[in-house]
A and B are shown apart, each in its own frame.
Chain A
Amino acid sequence: MSQQSNEQEQLEALKHILDRERAARKEAEQKIEVFASDIYEKNQLLQEQTHQAQERQKQLEFLTGLAAETWQQASMTAILDNYLDRSRNFLQFAFATMFELKPDYQLDRVQILPAAETQLMQFEESELRTLFNHLDGFRLSMELTEQAECKLLNLEEYLDPQLGKTYRPEFQFAYIVPLYQNSHNRQTTFGLACFLFEDEANLDIGQLQTIESSRNTLILALSRKQNETNQAKQLAELEQAHQTLKQTQQQLIDSEKLASLGMLSAGVAHEINNPVGYVMSNIDTMHDYLSSLQSVLKPLNENEQLDDAACRTLMAKWQDEEGDYLLEDSQKILNSSIDGLHRIRDIVEALRSFSRMDNHELEAIDVNSTIEHALKMVKNELKYNYQVITDFQADKPIMGSDGQLQQVFINLFINAKHAMKGGGSITIKTWIDKARVKVSVKDTGTGIKEEDLKQIFTPFFTTKKQGEGTGLGLAISYSILQQHHAKIEINTQLGEGTEFLLSFFTFE
């Protein structure tokens, strides 16, 4: 009985244990079900997140790739072409187009790239052009004027009401991205990228947002490129202006030269007239002398053999006409005439070299000879009350234009004269100092006031009376010396005089 009861007890216990095991198993199974469903949901979430991450990755690649390429493009057109191509590949199912919306609401410069996934969409370009022809340019233009932002258009709402009644477009949506605006006389042309979608299924708002994000980079790059183009244009204009300025400056130098020539012409004419006068008078005298000599010497021609009487008559006539004196004086007159003609030749030579306008090329010249030419031109100006002392030691040539440097020296000599109203002396020295040829032009005039010294090379600055000076002389001299890479120095002492010290490179 006790064994039976024990067995019964054991059985009961096992039954209880079994029940509890079943309950535990059910509980475990329920938990597994919950767990499995949990895993499924998590898996779904994970897949969704992976997809999103991949999309973000694509978007990021698009944005970074586009940014990198955009800044490398050489022109605005290249930037736009690259943008259109990249966007098309990114959007996959959209036709990428670009056009300008003109102030007359017409579309211009239409560009079309088919969708990257072309097998899915078979549209002829002409169909797209038909679509653009039906687009309500007025409405689009008004909206963009109000706010030039990206827009997703339901195309049915944007067909021209005049034209669009029967036309049904092949595309349902257009995403418009305003990229640039050109305004002229309050009329605006919009440069727009336009992505066309067949239907809603191909629209991905995330992708469109990415396209929108890329817009700022594009706008910035386009405006920078535009600035670059403008700058290049301005630079070319500046270069042109600089060229014109150089030509004008040259013309100014030439006119100043003509003005000096005008001012000096009376003196130069006098310098020529003077020897002409005495050479002519010499020729008159020679004419008389020749008549006298002819009267004495004529019998020699008539009688082939002179007898004593004839010789005596001839001698008497020789004595009468002062034959010896005539011969002696003729020599002097001829020498004087030759001298006069040399003077004329020299001054004509100086005038010729000074007045040459065509040749501004630098060549190897002897500065001493240039100074001498210049002195000849102003000789008449300095004839009375002025002493000219020269000491030419420089024995190396310089690179220069003889005519232009004459202009500089004439200017310095005339200025020196004006600084010495009652007369004085001009000392002109040239010498070699290392690799330079130095020229000093020193007067004993009034000197230059400090305040005037600051402006001495300023164009139109003059201390002379109205009508006496142009105020361009020293300014032009300064510009000529700059072209010669010469330095100019002024040493002045009020009441004692002024020295202009010029320094040229020697030409080896």
Chain B
Amino acid sequence: MKGTVFNHLQEFVEQSHGYTVWDQAISTLDLPSKGIYVGTQSYDDTEITMLAVYLAEQLNAPLPDLIRSFGYSLFSHLMPMAPEQAKQAKDLRTFLHMVEKIIHVEVLKLYQDVNLPKFDYIDEESKYMTMIYRSPRKLCFLSEGLILGAADHFKEQVKIDQSKCMHKGDDCCHIEIEFL
């Protein structure tokens, strides 16, 4: 996981729960990075899991909700870095298709060592779309948050649900998006 995600997680925690929460998390957890994150560096995936689990416990919030909220917040941080073509997408649906076809392609050009999730699309009905998520990190809730952040960006209303989820023993997650 790239340092920039950790940096934003820090900002997210500090802004919504204060500096001490974040500092306690870093001080308590014996992380290989010691909580020192450089945006362009890659860090072990387990660090984000450890931080999320710890924070959920400390804040007494369900883990999926915490990750989803972070994803929602992360979107506004990532969007300025998106390729021009994606920035000019005419609507949410178009943008979501670009995630796999344009954004991930561009990210790979910059960082050859990233482990990006793989998305497949089922898009046959005007009101619905399914994004099939596959990643060993199982951060499907982060994706949900990012989609919600994107909907907000494009000023669209969506309802999100998962018909299949790796956390429930499925081999992939089906993120069902309903355009309202």
Q: Which residues of A contact B (CB under 8 A)?
A: 9-10, 12-14, 16-17, 20, 23-24, 27-28, 31
Stretch from B23-31, B80-88, B97-105 at the A interface: B23-31
> Is B117 located at the chain interface by the 8 A CB criterion?
no
- Contact yes or no, A24 B38, CB < 8 A: yes
**Would B23 and A24 count as touching, CB distance under 8 A?**
no
Cβ contacts under 8 Å, A10 to chain B:
18-20
Q: Are A27 and B36 in contact (CB-based, < 8 A)?
A: yes
Q: How far is the CB of A468 from chain B (nearest CB, A)?
A: 106
* Neighbour of A13 across the interface among B3, B20, B34, CB < 8 A: B20
The answer to whether A31 and B19 touch across the interface, beta carbons within 8 angstroms, is no
Q: Which residues of chain B in 106-161 are interfacial with respect to chain A, using CB atoms and an 8 Å cutoff?
A: none
Tell me how far the C-beta of A7 lies from the nearest C-beta in chain B, rounded to whole angstroms. 11
- When chains A and B are docked, how far (Å) is the Cα of A13 from the Cα of B22? 8
Residue of B nearest to A14 (CB): B19
Residues of A within 8 A of B34 (CB): 20, 23
Residues of B within 8 A of A17 (CB): 10, 14, 19, 22-23
Q: A24 contacts which chain B residues (CB < 8 A)?
A: 3, 36-38
Q: Is the CB of A31 within 8 A of B35?
A: no
Q: How many residues of B contact A (CB 8 A)?
A: 19
B residues in contact (CB < 8 Å) with A = 3, 10, 14, 18-20, 22-24, 26-27, 34-41
**Residues of A contacting B36 with CB < 8 Å?**
20, 23-24, 27
Compute how far the CA of A150 lies from the CA of B73 in the bound complex, rounded to whole angstroms: 73
Cα separation A31 to B40 with both chains bound (whole Å): 10
Q: Which of A13, A20, A28 contacts B24 (CB 8 A)?
A: A13
Alpha-carbon separation in the docked complex, A9 to B40 (Å):
31
CB–CB A16/B38 < 8 A: no
Q: Which residues of B contact A13 (CB under 8 A)?
A: 18-20, 22-24
Chosen A-B contacts, 17 in total, with CB atoms closer than 8 Å, are: A9-B20, A10-B20, A13-B23, A13-B24, A14-B19, A16-B23, A17-B19, A20-B34, A20-B35, A23-B34, A24-B36, A24-B38, A27-B41, A28-B38, A31-B38, A31-B40, A31-B41
Could you say which residues of chain B place their CB within 8 Å of the CB of A23?
34, 36
Contacting residues, chain B, for A20 (C-beta < 8 A)? 26, 34-36
A9 to B38, CA, bound (A): 25
Which of B24, B27, B35 has the largest count of A CB atoms less than 10 A from its CB?
Answer: B35
Give the shortest distance, in Å, between B72 (CB) and chain A (any CB). Answer: 23
Which A residues are in CB contact (< 8 Å) with B27? 16
Within 8 Å CB of A9, what residues of B? 20
User: What residues on A are CB-neighbors of B39 within 8 Å?
Assistant: 28
Looking at B10, B27, B38, B40, which has the most chain A CB atoms within 10 Å of its CB?
B38
Q: Which residues of B contact A28 (CB under 8 A)?
A: 38-39
Please give the distance in Å from A31's CB to the nearest CB on chain B: 7
How far is A31 from B18 in the complex, measured between Cα atoms in Å?
A: 30
A16–B39 CA distance with the chains assembled, in angstroms: 19
The distance in angstroms between the C-alpha atoms of A500 and B44, with both chains bound, is 114
| Contact present for B37 and A16 (CB under 8 Å) | no
Top 3 closest pairs, chain A to chain B, by CB? A13-B23, A13-B19, A13-B20
Looking at the assembled complex, report how far the CB atom of A2 sits from the nearest CB atom of chain B, in whole angstroms.
14
**Cα–Cα, bound, A24→B10 (Å):** 13
Report the minimum CB–CB distance from A45 to chain B (whole Å). 20
CB distance from B25 to the nearest CB of A (A): 10
A23 CA / B10 CA spacing, docked (Å) = 15
The distance in angstroms between the C-alpha atoms of A8 and B22, with both chains bound, is: 15
Instruction: Give chain B nearest CB distance to A27 CB in angstroms.
Output: 5
B38 CB to nearest chain A CB (Å): 5
Give CA–CA (A9, B14) in the complex, Å: 14
Q: Write out the residue numbers on chain B whose beta carbons fall within 8 Å of the beta carbon of A12.
A: 23
B38 in contact with A27 (CB, 8 Å): yes
> Who on chain B is nearest to A26 by CB?
B36
Which residues on A sit within 8 Å (CB–CB) of B14?
17
B41 cross-chain contacts in A, Cβ below 8 A: 27, 31
With both beta carbons as reference points, the residue of chain A lying nearest to B6 in the complex is identified as A24
